[in-house]
Amino acid sequence: MKLQAEIGEKSHEIELTRNDDKVTAVIDGRSYDVEVSEPEPNVYLIKADGKVFEAYVTPTDRPKKVTIRGRELEVRLIDPKRLRGSGGAGEHADGLAEIKTAMPGKVVRILVEAGSTVQKGDGVLVVEAMKMQNELKSPKDGTVANVLVSEGETVIAGQALAIVE
């Protein structure tokens, strides 16, 4: 599972692989092998290098508050797959819909211009992130009200790139 974690002003790329209670976490390219258990709801024991860390994670959705060793951190987790394909059928039926990027990257192609008519699922622009090009699609039928970026521009996770009305 690939995620992005925002802690304060910093963003971290995370890839998690789980095998029973063992977890391999690759964080910003550095690999960690840990054992994780949940002895009670929202309390996690993380065992790494002979040490045990207890983490309490608030049950609220966003942002999560994680407390480790008395230090509380606000963590916002972003699942790039969910951002790419999220939304129910009528979610943007009326009003404006923003097309956002799931991960930091670079705009490599803009496929439409302001005023273009698009159908739900039509490609609007292409962002390269982690050496992969991702075509961002219109979440609804409509007209491109505005393209907020230009080709070659570096963008951050969650940034609005275009608006469809």
Average pLDDT of span 97-120: 90
Sign of the CA dihedral 102, 107, 113, 119? negative
DSSP annotation of 83 reads H
Write out pLDDT tens, residues 21-32: 788 989 999 999
Average pLDDT of span 43-49: 89
Predicted model pTM: 0.47
User: Is 86 part of any domain?
Assistant: no
End-to-end Cα separation, the chain, in angstroms: 33
The total domain count for the chain is 2
Structural domain span for residue 124: 94-164
User: Is 35 part of any domain?
Assistant: yes
- Taking a C-beta distance cutoff of 8 angstroms, is the pair 84, 98 a contact? no
Query: Tokens in use for 125?
Result: 């622009």
- Position 82 scores a pLDDT of 55
Query: Which percentage of the chain shows pLDDT scores above 70?
Result: 88
Residues 8 and 74 in one domain: yes
CATH number at residue 68: 3.30.700.30
